[in-house]
Amino acid sequence: KNEVEQSPQNLTAQEGEFITINCSYSVGISALHWLQQHPGGGIVSLFMLSSGKKKHGRLIATINIQEKHSSLHITASHPRDSAVYICAVLDTDKLIFGTGTRLQVFP
Amino acid sequence: ETGVTQTPRHLVMGMTNKKSLKCEQHLGHNAMYWYKQSAKKPLELMFVYSLEERVENNSVPSRFSPECPNSSHLFLHLHTLQPEDSALYLCASSQGPDNTGELFFGEGSRLTVL
C-alpha cells in the first residue's frame, strides 16, 4: 500500500461542475503539496499547506492533519482544468508522491 | 513558464547510445533535482544537488550519471540504458534541498529506449 493514496484515479466532469480530489496519507507530515501536471508533462505547484485551507482563484485546498487527509476542490470547472493532479507529502525532508488523479473536463 | 528549462523534450535512443539531458534554472535557487516518472507510478526522486554538491542518490543505477557544474545547470548523462528506463525525466529546483519550499519543475524530457 502506498503511503500516499489519491482518489479517484480518474475523473470526468462536465464544464461548470464542482470537482473534489482526495488525498490520504499514512505518515506524519510537516506539509502537503498539490501539483498539476499538464498533458505535455510539465508540473506546476498549486498549493503547499500544513493546516487549514488555502484558496487561489477557483481552486481550494484543505487539510485535516488529525485525519491525515487533504482535498483539492475546483469550482466552476473548465476544460482547461484537464490535467493530472498530484498530491505529495513532506515527511521530515523527504517528499512522497501519490500516483495522481487524471481529470478530464468536457465542454 | 516556470523558470526551469529542460532539453531535449523528447529523446529516442538505442541501448548502446550515450546521450545527455540538460536542465537550466533561472530562479536563483540553490537546489536542483532529477525525478523519474514512469507510467502509473509516483514520481521517484533520483538525485538531489545542493550548491553543486550531490546530497542524495536514491540507489540509482550507474548507467545514470548526474553532473551539476554550477547552481543553474544540471545534467543527466545516459549510457547503456535498458528499455525499462523509458520514462519522463523531470528536473526541478527549489530554494533549499530539504523540500520545505516550493518546487519548480521543468516540462520534462520524455525518453524512449529501444
Cα angle B50, A4, B53; round to 5: 10
Which of A6, A43, A48 to mutate to test binding with chain B, by most B CBs within 10 Å of its CB? A43
Nearest to A100 by CA among A31, A39, A37, A41: A37
CA atoms within 13 A on the CB side of B102: 13
A4 interfacial to chain B (CB closer than 8 Å):
yes
Per-residue pLDDT of A33-72, as tens digits, reads 999 999 888 899 999 999 999 999 999 999 999 999 999 9
pLDDT class of B32 with cuts at 50, 70, 90: very high
Per-residue pLDDT of B46-74, as tens digits, reads 999 987 788 777 789 999 999 999 989 99
User: Residue A28's pLDDT is what?
Assistant: 85
Among the partner residues A41, A90, A98, nearest to B110 by beta-carbon distance: A41
Average pLDDT of B23-38? Answer: 94
Average predicted confidence (pLDDT) for chain B: 91
pLDDT class of B113 with cuts at 50, 70, 90: very high
pLDDT class of A82 with cuts at 50, 70, 90: very high
Average pLDDT of A12-36? Answer: 95
User: Residue B24's pLDDT is what?
Assistant: 97
The residue to which cell 554538491 is assigned: B53
B99 interfacial to chain A (CB closer than 8 Å):
yes
B100/A93 Cβ within 8 A? yes
User: Residue A1's pLDDT is what?
Assistant: 66
Average predicted confidence (pLDDT) for chain A: 94
pLDDT of residue B2 exceeding 80, the answer is no
CA distance A98 to chain B (A): 6
User: Residue B21's pLDDT is what?
Assistant: 98
Please provide the distance, in angstroms rounded to a whole number, between the alpha carbons at the two ends of chain A: 36
Distance CA A47, CA A60 (A): 9
Measured between CA atoms, the residue of chain A closest to residue B101 is: A48
